[in-house]
Amino acid sequence: MITGLSRPHCDHTQAWQLLRQHRDGQFAGFDLRRAFQHEPARFETHSQQAPHVFADLSKNLVDEHARSLLLELARECMLERHRDLMFAGAPVNNTEGRAVKHWLLRVPRGASADPDAAEVHETLDAMLDCAASVRADEAITDVVNIGIGGSDLGPQMAVAALEAFAIPGKRFHFVSNVDGHELAAVLRTLRPASTLFLIASKTFTTLETMTNARSARAWFEAEGGRDVARHFVALTTNTQAAAEFGIRTTFGFRDWVGGRYSMWSSIGLPIAIAIGPENFRALLAGAHAMDRHFATAPLAANLPVRLGLLDIWNRNFLGQPSRSIAPYHSALRRLPAYLQQLEMESNGKRVDAQGRPLSVQTSPVLWGEPGTNGQHAYFQMLHQGTDTVPVEFIAVRQAAHGLPGHHAQLLANALAQAQALMQGRPDAGGHRDFPGNRPSSFFILDRLDPASLGAFIAMQEHRVFTSGSIWGIDSFDQWGVELGKVLAQDIVPRLATGEVQGLDASTAGLLARLR
Ligand SMILES: O=P(O)(O)OC[C@H]1O[C@](O)(CO)[C@@H](O)[C@@H]1O
């Protein structure tokens, strides 16, 4: 039950049964090559233009009938009602009793009656003023973001993606791991007087971040740094803990922003410093345009909905365990890691929102690397391996560089890989045989700019909402990360003392070798 909304388990619906029957009946033996021959308008019917993003889904192993049954499934599972509850500020994150309002961070000033809208804009203005003054401060050459998970992956992904818009003369570093090698390597390149540390943590309690923040402050003071208050800024919901740490400048946000949905909040400060206030607002505007599309477009022409339903089909009816992300743009190098957290932390659940076991499979494994690099590493498996893995190609029409020849090669490779996966190539010799009929989706952005990146990421968020909603899970909690954290705290003192009592034989044996 979500705030009075009682929804059926997806596999108890009539649409689910019909989808099964269809898969085992008329759909069995589906072949993409034949589908294109028989459906002259397949490209048009299976593609969708949404704000800033064009998606061709026609090379997926899906037919019109499955598509209409999936839409029926969405209706039976009350997807629209659930979506509307999120946009109405209802506590759809029911296991934590929280609203889910990252979309509010992108609503233009004056366009929302939500009670938190005014505060959102106050914080945004203050955060962007700070970004502007750091940009203008030539003494600051290095910005170090210390955060992990959602307090790292979004800003890191976006700063890389928008490197063509980044202010010259400043370097951006992202330190996330508690592994001191990472922080030490960054600190070696810095001077306290020219460094700004951003301590990014929704909770301001995360072990990795607090350990790194304390070490950064100790280094700052030991190296003769003066004025911690000027060189450390906190981005957090826990303003009290930030003050106790000795930080005077804090940009807050509310607990209705999930960590993996937080790059639009003050957690986005490194992005705003890199690309400037105006571009940051364009990022928000692009995401807002996608929010409106998701909130208002009919299900059949709603890109995040179409993607989420295709994910259900691939996972639950075709049994595909993973999805490969292939951004054909080196600036999108952190996108696979970002999407991993978004999808797998949101939908990697085995019980429904009420804690009852699910009898369907949920989040696929996401993985990938920028093209064309992946082609020379694991694409062999995609073309000729035993598993079917849907690949998501992301191509950008206009390059941000002027080197002749490169971009045409890049785009040609993206198109050719999708083509090769689908077409295959028969060969009597066996080893050279490409079976083809392998699925892919193809996304096109006109330019990799703040607005299109914002729209593309918001599309991914809402797609995850869609599949999570059909599965009936709470996509906004992450209880699965807790146990390991607790056990690590039990092990830390044992590494010093060697005490192994109460440990299993494997952990005890490994601990003895690691001391
Ligand atoms: O921003 P925080 O509170 O430091 O949390 C960092 C990350 O840790 C997690 O809670 C998982 O451990 C993520 O959900 C979150 O993005």
- pLDDT of 3: 56
d(CA 46, CA 35): 12
Angstrom distances, CA of residue 183 to CA of 118, 179, 274, 276: 37, 8, 21, 26
Select from 230, 238, 168 the least CA-distant residue to 201.
Answer: 238
Strands (E) in 353-425, as ranges, are 365-368, 391-396
- pLDDT of 426: 87
Tell me whether domains 35-76+297-473 and 102-277 share a fold.
Answer: yes
pTM over 0.80: yes
User: What's the rounded mean pLDDT across residues 166-189?
Assistant: 98
User: Quick one: the chain helix, strand, coil %, rounded to 5?
Assistant: 55, 10, 35
Closest residue by CA, ligand 1 atom 4:
201
User: What's the rounded mean pLDDT across residues 332-350?
Assistant: 98
Å from CA of 266 to ligand 1 middle: 15
Each residue's pLDDT tens digit, 98-131: 999 999 999 999 999 999 999 999 999 999 999 9
- pLDDT of 200: 98
Q: In what order do the strands lie in the sheet with 171-175?
A: 171-175, 142-146, 195-200, 232-236, 249-252
Å from CA of 183 to ligand 1 middle: 18
Q: Which atom of ligand 1 is nearest to the CA of 206?
A: 4
For ligand 1, pick from 151, 204, 251 the residue to mutate: most ligand atoms within 8 Å of CB: 151
Query: Which listed residue (64, 244, 278, 376) is catalytic?
Result: 376
d(CA 300, CA 257): 28
- pLDDT of 4: 58
Peptide bond into 239 cis (omega under 30): no
Return the CATH number of the domain spanning residue range 35-76+297-473: 3.40.50.10490
- Three-class SS state of 383: helix
- pLDDT of 93: 97
Q: Report the share of the chain in percent with pLDDT over 90.
A: 97
Say if residues 403 and 347 touch (Cβ distance below 8 Å). no
Å from CA of 259 to ligand 1 middle: 6
- pLDDT of 301: 98
Each residue's pLDDT tens digit, 207-234: 999 999 999 999 999 999 999 999 999 9
Closest residue by CA, ligand 1 atom 13:
149
Each residue's pLDDT tens digit, 24-79: 999 999 999 999 999 999 999 999 999 999 999 999 999 999 999 999 999 999 99
Instruction: Decide if 39 is catalytic.
Output: no
- pLDDT of 325: 98
Q: Which atom of ligand 1 is nearest to the CA of 481?
A: 12
Binning pLDDT at 50, 70 and 90, where does residue 5 land?
confident
Q: Does 311 have pLDDT greater than 50? A: yes
Report CA dihedral (204, 207, 209, 214) to the nearest 10 degrees: 90
Q: Does 1 have pLDDT greater than 50? A: no
User: What's the rounded mean pLDDT across residues 249-259?
Assistant: 97
Binning pLDDT at 50, 70 and 90, where does residue 427 land?
confident
Å from CA of 51 to ligand 1 middle: 30
The CATH homologous superfamily for domain 102-277 is Glucose-6-phosphate isomerase like protein; domain 1 (3.40.50.10490)
Q: Report the share of the chain in percent with pLDDT over 70.
A: 99
d(CA 114, CA 371): 42
Instruction: Decide if 345 is catalytic.
Output: yes
Instruction: Decide if 376 is catalytic.
Output: yes
* Structural domain boundaries in the chain: 35-76+297-473, 102-277, 481-514
User: What's the rounded mean pLDDT across residues 332-353?
Assistant: 98
Question: How do beta strands 53-56 and 440-445 pair?
Answer: antiparallel
What kind and span of H or E run contains 221?
A: helix 207-222
Each residue's pLDDT tens digit, 436-492: 999 999 999 999 999 999 999 999 999 999 999 999 999 999 999 999 999 999 999
Angstrom distances, CA of residue 302 to CA of 19, 80, 123, 286, 298: 20, 11, 31, 16, 6
Please enumerate in sequence order all residues whose Cβ is within 8 A of that of 393, keeping only pairs 6 or more positions apart, or say none.
326, 328, 371, 414, 417, 418, 440, 441, 442, 443
b/e map 35-47, b = 16+ CB within 10 Å: beeeeeebeeebb
Query: Which listed residue (12, 38, 406, 485) is catalytic?
Result: 485
For ligand 1, pick from 203, 205, 341 the residue to mutate: most ligand atoms within 8 Å of CB: 203
Å from CA of 481 to ligand 1 middle: 9
Mutual orientation of helices 153-161 and 450-471 as an angle, nearest 10°?
Answer: 140
Select from 245, 313, 164, 200 the least CA-distant residue to 305.
Answer: 313
Residues enclosing ligand 1, CB less than 6 A? 148-151, 201-203, 206, 209, 259-260, 345, 478, 481
Q: Which atom of ligand 1 is nearest to the CA of 259?
A: 16
φ and ψ at residue 320, rounded to 5 degrees: -80, 120
- pLDDT of 234: 98
Closest residue by CA, ligand 1 atom 7:
149
Binning pLDDT at 50, 70 and 90, where does residue 430 land?
confident
For ligand 1, pick from 478, 483, 485, 489 the residue to mutate: most ligand atoms within 8 Å of CB: 478
Q: Which atom of ligand 1 is nearest to the CA of 151?
A: 1
Å from CA of 397 to ligand 1 middle: 35
Å from CA of 151 to ligand 1 middle: 7
Q: Does 243 have pLDDT greater than 70? A: yes
Q: Which atom of ligand 1 is nearest to the CA of 153?
A: 16
Closest residue by CA, ligand 1 atom 14:
259
Q: Which atom of ligand 1 is nearest to the CA of 150?
A: 16
- pLDDT of 6: 83
For ligand 1, pick from 267, 481, 489 the residue to mutate: most ligand atoms within 8 Å of CB: 481
Query: Which listed residue (343, 345, 369, 461) is catalytic?
Result: 345
